[in-house]
Amino acid sequence: MPQIFHPSANTLSRLTLFGMAVGPLGLLIVSYLLIRSPYQTGVRVIREQPVPFSHEHHVGGLGIDCRYCHTSVETSSFAGLPPTHTCMTCHSQIWSTSPMLEPVRTSLAMKQPIVWTRIHNLPDFVYFNHAIHIQKGIGCVSCHGRVDKMPITWKEEPLTMEWCLECHRHPERHLREKREVFNMEWAPPVPEQLEIGRHLIEREHIEVDRLTNCSVCHR
């Protein structure tokens, strides 16, 4: 009986078997990498803004507190973006003829708000609240990175569920005294942080077990 398959078919079949085992795994790995890549999460991606607003200048250089502009961050779920009026408290006199600030002046004159491009935007099925995090002692840096060093604002953390949970499982790694919340330079004191964190969990009555319940964030 003549051979139906050429000997090279052996190699081919081995390759096929190997491919069947490794292929799906590779596909999983590739899609996982894709999901975590800036392409999906937007981390450190620069977005076009109507005015090239620089936190580096205003916060790092001039030392303006976050709350001067993001007024509602301590009391509401939403940090708030400054209305044109807030920019004009200073720019009515400073750089008042700069073409860079033309959209700000037009906005004030025409009573049309400036349309900033949002950088952080959770899906609508997730509930997030700034006030609770600020009141319990989570610093802006823990979630937004060194904003005072950003010449144009970007997203420092991926804001995935995994990322939220990392902290909700171990808040002691990130908790600080409330007066340090707005301090951009604060870093956890290395050996003592866990101890301080555990003390703060107790003092602020944080129920860590409850923080990973689905209904905390999906309500």
Partner 1 sequence: MRRRVAIKRWDRPSRRSWAGEFAAIMAVALLVLTGCRSEMYEQPRYEPLEPSSLFEDGSSARPLVAGTVPRDDPRGAPPAGVPDEVFYTGWSQGKLVESVPFPVDRAVLERGQERFRIYCTPCHGELGDGRGMIVRRGFNPPPPYASEELRKQPIGHYFDVMTRGFGTMYSYASRVPPRDRWAIAAYIRVLQLSQHAEAANLPAEDRNKLPAVDEASAPRSQP
What is the footprint of ligand HEC within residues 143-162 (CB under 6 A)?
A: 143-144, 147-148, 153, 159-161
Binding span for ligand HEC by CB under 6 A among 11-19, 21-29, 96-104, 189-197: 96-104
Can you spell out the DSSP letters for 103-131?
HHHHHHHHT----PPPS----TT----HH
Tokens of 70: 């993001």
For residue 124, the partner it binds in ligand HEC, partner 1, none, with Cβ less than 5 to 8 A by kind, is partner 1
For residue 212, the partner it binds in partner 1, ligand HEC, none, with Cβ less than 5 to 8 A by kind, is ligand HEC
What is the footprint of ligand HEC within residues 110-139 (CB under 6 A)?
A: 116, 118-123, 126-130, 132-134, 136, 138
CB 83 → ligand HEC: shortest distance, Å? 8
Neighbours of 195 (CB within 10 A): 11
Tokens of 144: 């937004």
CB 70 → partner 1: shortest distance, Å? 10
Write the burial class of residue 3 (CB in 10 Å: 0-12 exposed, 13-18 middle, 19+ buried).
exposed
CB 68 → partner 1: shortest distance, Å? 6
Give the integer Cα–Cα distance in Å for 16 and 23: 10
Give the integer Cα–Cα distance in Å for 28 and 19: 14
Question: Which residue(s) pair with 155 in the sheet?
Answer: 43
Q: Is 200 in the site for ligand HEC (CB under 6 A)?
A: no
For residue 176, the partner it binds in partner 1, ligand HEC, none, with Cβ less than 5 to 8 A by kind, is none
Asked if residue 10 lies in contact with residue 17, where contact means CB atoms within 8 angstroms, the answer is no
User: Which residue has tokens 């398959």?
Assistant: 5
What is the footprint of partner 1 within residues 104-133 (CB under 8 A)?
A: 111-113, 115, 123-125
Q: Which amino acid is at 108?
A: L
* Contacting residue, 43, 90, 131, 196, with ligand HEC by CB under 6 A: 90
For residue 214, the partner it binds in partner 1, ligand HEC, none, with Cβ less than 5 to 8 A by kind, is ligand HEC
Task: Give the rounded distance of the alpha carbon of 112 from its chain centre.
Answer: 28
Instruction: Write out the residues near partner 1 by the rule CB under 8 A.
Output: 62-65, 67-68, 71, 77-78, 80-81, 83, 85-86, 88-90, 92-94, 111-113, 115, 123-125
